[in-house]
């Protein structure tokens, strides 16, 4: 456990060694603020954060790959993977440490958005149930995105590839799936509704927290983490030029 | 401490390490010597559990590198060839992180860090960002890192590569010190460096083991024969040549005119036989005036170069 903490600690600091961490935070807050201002902070509408959360999820599709791209790829391209993997840590400890650091960074990213809720509370009587549910959904979808980004980062030493691939994948799973549900019917539509990330996430935005959706996000997250550990293990068999 | 049995590694279809066996005993400083591309790094990476062997076995500190990888990694301090470090961290920060993932914490961690920093003379660079360190200091950080766990076994891959002569001398001194507390296996492609610090050499070339033994033994044992040169002036060169050829330990003699009225004899002797005294006495008894008499033995350098060349030829033939 303390080894996971050690890895997590180092990784979390690493976000702030380079400007990337600050840029991600800035972009997220600016976009979030814009959406909030445009859509939710409107005296003529009921006080809720449904729209802003919808758009924030969209922002995560391209921001999260930027958060996760360096996690393992950078170790491979710089050769530090060699000292990391020859230290007495297990592959699972490395993956979990890195994953938790990304989650912590993500929570730091989200924290300031609580101020939107505070603003709502000052000027109106928001309905807290849906807001809390929305946050839960946002955290769950974000954590899933992070685990998918981490998985991609384990597959390549190129940070560009490990940002681009999950970006495309998440874009398909989130927006394309949702788009297609409007144009299909029957079984394909039900299937896409079932696997589409956004469809699931929207339930939270409506204030509906179903165990089904929670389990969906969490189990996919665990699956991505499991695959990450397996890929890290298998890389040793192929050998990495350090 | 380290036992390697028939270790083999293929990269795809390319054979990088070919059935190597050797052993390192407690307290030894052993040099893994071989030209570039010999397979030193590959061998070391198998010993440090970075990659598995294709076949063969290895144990470090009694633990199997394959089935007890975590214990091996716990008891080995390893400095990889390129000394990969997290560039953005400060020296102290980096060492703390590395100590933590080696399972250290609290007082023990502080003590070990202090000890490693002191032994590697990094006290004045504690707060410096690693990216701004010179090559020599980076090497020291790598070394300090490998010492953190107070490991029984230290494995250093080309610890002096890329250093200037002054730094090399310092690194050498440091490594010699390390030998007092740890069993050390270090690799190098420079014979001279290995000769300076190691008591024993394991030489590989083209992935194969070509020599293994204490330095002194290798020095005398390698050539198998020496060449003795005699330059003298006198009568009946043919007679003297025949007489020398009859001496015990002499394999062959050739004679050739040198400048003046001197004759130069080249005497090949067998094994470690020292024929100088017998040759000298014989020449004087026959009334020759001796002006030079000495024996040349092939140096380790020549041996190293010859072995390397042989392996290259074989490699090309395959
Ligand atoms: N990851 C790898 N993939 C393919 N070939 C490799 C890899 N690493 C090393 N080799 C090859 O294996 C041989 C031995 O390399 P190496 O162990 O690095 O030698 P040394 O450390 O003695 O210079 C070389 O021919 C090298 O090109
Ligand atoms: Mg090498």
Give alpha helix (H) positions in B79-208.
91-101, 106-119, 135-147, 165-178, 191-197
pLDDT tens-place string over residues B243-269: 898 888 888 899 888 888 899 999 988
pLDDT at B211: 85
What is the rounded CA–CA span in Å between residue A43 and residue A48? 11
Chain B partners within 8 Å of A70 (Cβ): none
CA of B189 to the centre of ligand 2 (A): 8
pLDDT at A240: 45
pLDDT at B257: 87
> Is the pLDDT confidence value at B317 over 60?
no
pLDDT tens-place string over residues A111-147: 888 887 788 778 777 777 878 888 899 899 999 999 9
Nearest CA to ligand 1 atom 18: B41
CB A140 within 8 A of CB A158: no
pLDDT at B227: 83
Which residues, other chains included, contact B142 with Cβ-Cβ below 8 Å and sequence gap of 6+? B79, B80, B83, B85
Which residue is associated with the tokens 């990088």? B16
Q: Which of A13, A239, A242 sits opposite B84 (nearest CB)?
A: A242
What is the rounded CA–CA span in Å between residue A60 and residue B220? 70
CA of B37, nearest ligand number: 1
Q: How much is the average pLDDT of B3-29? A: 93
Chain B partners within 8 Å of A5 (Cβ): 100
Average pLDDT, chain B: 88
B315 pLDDT band, cuts 50/70/90, is low
- Helix crossing, A50-68 with A197-205: angle to 10°? 140
pLDDT at B316: 57
The CB-side HSE value for B54 (13 A sphere, CA atoms) comes to 16
- CA diameter of chain A: 62
pLDDT tens-place string over residues B193-229: 888 888 899 999 889 998 888 877 777 665 556 788 9
pLDDT at A242: 33
Q: How much is the average pLDDT of B48-72? A: 93
Q: How much is the average pLDDT of B136-145? A: 93
pLDDT tens-place string over residues A162-208: 999 999 999 888 888 878 888 888 888 888 878 888 888 888 877 88
CA of B35 to the centre of ligand 2 (A): 9
- Compute CA distances B283 → B75, B237, B240, whole Å: 62, 10, 7
**Chain A residues within 8 Å of chain B (Cβ atoms):** 2-3, 5-7, 9-10, 13-14, 17-18, 78-90, 236-237, 239, 242
Chain A partners within 8 Å of B145 (Cβ): 83
- For B192-227, the three-class secondary structure string (H helix, E strand, C coil) is HHHHHHCCEEEEEECCEEEEEEEHHHHHHHCCCEEE
pLDDT at B169: 86
Residue B129 is given by DSSP the state B
pLDDT tens-place string over residues B264-298: 999 988 766 788 888 999 999 989 999 999 887 76
Chain A residue with minimum CA distance to B70: A88
> Is the pLDDT confidence value at A46 over 70?
no
Phi first, then psi: what are they for B161, rounded to 5°?
A: -65, 135
- For A122-159, the three-class secondary structure string (H helix, E strand, C coil) is HHCCCCHHHHHHHHHHHHHHHHHHHHHHHHHHHHCCCH
- Compute CA distances B201 → B193, B197, B207, whole Å: 11, 10, 15
Residue A112 is given by DSSP the state G
CA of A241, closest atom in ligand 1: 1
pLDDT at B301: 72
CA of B205, nearest ligand number: 1
What's the pTM value of the predicted model, to 2 decimals?
Answer: 0.85
């Amino acid at each position: 456990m303390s080894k996971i903490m050690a890895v997590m600690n180092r990784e979390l600091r690493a976000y702030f060694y380079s400007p990337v961490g600050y840029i991600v935070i800035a972009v997220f807050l600016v976009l979030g603020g814009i959406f909030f201002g445009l859509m939710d902070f409107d005296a003529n509408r009921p006080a809720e954060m449904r729209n802003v959360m919808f758009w924030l999820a969209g922002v995560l599709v391209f921001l999260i790959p930027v958060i996760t791209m360096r996690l393992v790829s950078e170790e491979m391209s710089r050769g530090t993977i060699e000292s990391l993997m020859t230290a007495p840590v297990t592959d699972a400890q490395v993956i979990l440490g890195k994953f938790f650091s990304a989650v912590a960074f993500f929570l730091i990213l989200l924290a300031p958005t609580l101020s939107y809720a505070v603003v709502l509370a000052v000027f109106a009587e928001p309905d807290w149930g849906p807001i809390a549910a929305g946050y839960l959904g946002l955290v769950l979808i974000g954590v899933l995105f992070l685990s998918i980004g981490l998985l991609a980062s384990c597959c390549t030493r190129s940070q560009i590839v490990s940002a681009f691939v999950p970006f495309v994948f998440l874009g398909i799973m989130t927006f394309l799936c949702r788009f297609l549900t409007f144009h299909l019917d029957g079984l394909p539509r039900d299937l896409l509704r079932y696997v589409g990330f956004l469809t699931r996430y929207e339930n939270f935005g409506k204030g509906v927290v179903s165990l089904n959706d929670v389990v969906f996000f969490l189990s996919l997250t665990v699956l991505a983490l499991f695959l990450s550990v397996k890929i890290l293990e298998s890389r040793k068999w192929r050998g990495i030029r350090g | 401490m380290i036992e390697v049995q028939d270790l083999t590694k293929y990269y795809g279809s390319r054979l990088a390490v070919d059935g190597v066996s050797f052993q390192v005993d407690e307290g030894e400083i052993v040099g893994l010597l071989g030209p570039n591309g010999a397979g030193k790094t590959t061998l070391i990476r198998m010993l440090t559990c970075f990659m598995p062997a294709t076949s063969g076995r290895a144990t470090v500190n009694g633990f199997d590198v394959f089935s007890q990888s975590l214990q091996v990694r716990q008891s080995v301090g390893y400095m990889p060839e390129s000394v990969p470090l997290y560039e953005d961290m400060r020296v102290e920060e980096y060492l703390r992180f590395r100590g933590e993932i080696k399972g250290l914490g609290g007082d023990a961690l502080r003590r070990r860090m202090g000890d490693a920093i002191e032994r590697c003379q990094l006290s004045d660079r504690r707060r410096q960002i690693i990216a701004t360190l010179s090559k020599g200091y980076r090497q020291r950080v790598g070394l300090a890192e490998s010492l953190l766990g107070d490991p029984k076994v230290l494995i250093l891959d080309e610890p002096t590569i890329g250093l200037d002569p002054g730094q090399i001398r310092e690194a050498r001194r440091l490594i010699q010190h390390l030998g007092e507390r740890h069993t050390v296996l270090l690799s190098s492609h420079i014979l001279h460096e290995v000769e300076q610090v190691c008591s024993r050499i394991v030489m590989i070339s083209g992935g194969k083991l070509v020599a293994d033994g204490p330095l002194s033994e290798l020095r005398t044992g390698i050539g198998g024969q020496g060449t003795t040169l005699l330059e003298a002036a006198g009568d009946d060169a043919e007679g003297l040549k025949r007489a020398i050829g009859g001496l015990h330990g002499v394999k062959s003699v050739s004679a050739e005119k040198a400048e003046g009225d001197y004759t130069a004899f080249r005497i090949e002797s067998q094994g470690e036989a020292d024929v100088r005294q017998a040759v000298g006495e014989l020449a004087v008894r026959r009334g020759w005036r001796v002006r030079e008499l000495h024996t040349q033995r092939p140096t380790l350098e020549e041996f190293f170069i010859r072995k390397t060349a042989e392996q290259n030829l074989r490699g090309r033939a395959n």
